[in-house]
């Protein structure tokens, strides 16, 4: 049976469990390293609108038509979208 526990790994490679370990006999384990994600920068909606604009679609418009509109706006804004 697999069991997942959270650990910290120090700069020297030492492993410190963040919760008590169950009583087990000596055994091997696999360690998966979680790479920290860069912090998310919060932006207000006005800066997003100025970057991409606002798409407006009539009711019943196809996904293909919306995709084409997004690509056209990206091409006009960034001049490198296929």
52, 72 contact by CB (below 8 A): no
pLDDT at residue 9 above 80?
yes
* Beta carbons of 8 and 18 less than 8 angstroms apart: yes
Whether pLDDT at 77 is above 80:
no
pLDDT digits (tens, 9 = 90+) for 17-70: 898 887 878 888 888 888 877 776 666 655 555 555 566 666 777 888 878 877
- Give me the pLDDT at residue 48, please: 58
Q: Pull the structure tokens for residue 70.
A: 């997004």
Phi, psi of 13 (to 5 degrees): 95, 5
pLDDT for residue 5: 85
Task: Tell whether pTM > 0.85.
Answer: no
Please name the residues in contact with 8: beta carbons below 8 A apart, sequence gap of 6 or more.
15, 16, 18
């Amino acid at each position: 049976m697999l069991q997942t526990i959270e650990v910290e790994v120090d700069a020297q490679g030492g492993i410190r469990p963040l919760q008590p370990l169950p009583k087990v006999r000596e055994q091997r384990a696999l360690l998966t390293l979680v790479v920290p994600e860069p912090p998310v920068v919060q932006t207000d909606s006005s800066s997003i609108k100025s970057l991409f604009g606002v798409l407006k679609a009539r009711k019943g418009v196809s996904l293909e038509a919306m995709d084409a509109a997004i690509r056209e706006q990206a091409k006009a804004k960034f001049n490198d979208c296929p």
